[in-house]
Amino acid sequence: MTSKDPEIQDIYDQIKEYKTTQPYKCTCGLKRCEHCNDLSKMIKTNLPTAYELEMLIKRLTGVTYGFESRPMKWDEPFVPSNNTKQINYSDSIYHIIFIDYGFVIFMTRDMIKKIPILKSILLDENGNDKPLRLNYMDVKLNKEFKGPNMYITKLEPHSLVFGNPPDDYQMNIDRRNGNQVINFKEKWFKHDNLAECLLYRNWFHS
């Protein structure tokens, strides 16, 4: 993980260097469970849990809310994440943090491919900025996991313009929105950039 921005690099370093202070504590919330009864079988590790990572990242970045990507939803490809649902810590998901705006977007690789700037940085690995892999320990499963890639950026959301579908893109759907005929072959989504999508979603569903 690297960043040309000293502030972002410092955050990466703090997350990378963080070690759990309670590596063998059971987080089940019960007084006695199979892990509490036999902690000797637990993996000896200093990796933080997903919850510890989430709290640390919020403290360091000031993130207060987030969105999830829906690559197959034409009019609303980004929806607010559910605060009651556990954050997706799969290794196939990217956590894109817009630090100046205080929000994070959880993106699939397919969604990143539709945004040329992010594709160039995160998938094609062009430039100096590199994401941080968030590895963590799941106490209940007693297993270490390779988590998502986290990318902290100061890019403006309106600068993240969606690309166009390729010439061989097959989507033979005839649909109208009022008097407008929607041509799914010309563009991926209803709006042209990330900011337009988020403003539209918040305006009509606030």
Ramachandran bin of 29, using left for φ above 0, alpha for ψ from -120 to 50, beta for the remaining angles: left
Q: Model confidence over 97-117: pLDDT tens digits?
A: 999 999 999 999 999 999 999
Q: How confident is the model at residue 164 (pLDDT cuts 50, 70, 90)?
A: confident
Total domain count, the chain: 1
Mean pLDDT of 5-12: 95
Report yes or no on 76 lying in a domain. Answer: yes
Are 131 and 185 spatial neighbours (Cβ–Cβ below 8 Å)? no
Flag whether 82 is in a domain: yes
The boundaries of the domain holding residue 186 are 6-205
Residue 146 domain-assigned (yes or no) = yes
* Chain segment 60-88, per-residue pLDDT in tens: 999 988 999 988 888 889 988 876 556 78
Instruction: Provide the sign of the torsion angle of the four alpha carbons 55, 57, 60, 61, taken in this order.
Output: negative
Q: Please report whether residue 176 resides in a domain.
A: yes
> Considering the entire predicted model, what is its pTM?
0.83
Assigned domain for 74 exists: yes
Q: What is the CA radius of gyration of the chain?
A: 20
Percent of the chain with pLDDT over 70: 76
Quickly state the pLDDT bin for 179 (edges 50, 70, 90): low
Within a domain: 141? yes
Q: What is the pLDDT of residue 98?
A: 97
Identify the pLDDT of residue 141: 82
Residue 1 counted as domain residue: no
Q: What is the pLDDT of residues 37-65, one digit of tens each?
A: 555 555 667 889 888 999 999 999 999 88
Cα separation of the two ends of the chain: 35
The pLDDT-based confidence of 152 (bands split at 50, 70, 90) is: very high
What local confidence, expressed as pLDDT, does residue 24 receive? Answer: 53
Establish if 163 belongs to a structural domain.
yes
Give 206's strand partners. Answer: none
Residue 40 backbone phi and psi in degrees, to 5: -65, -20
In whole angstroms, give the CA distance from residue 37 to residue 32: 6
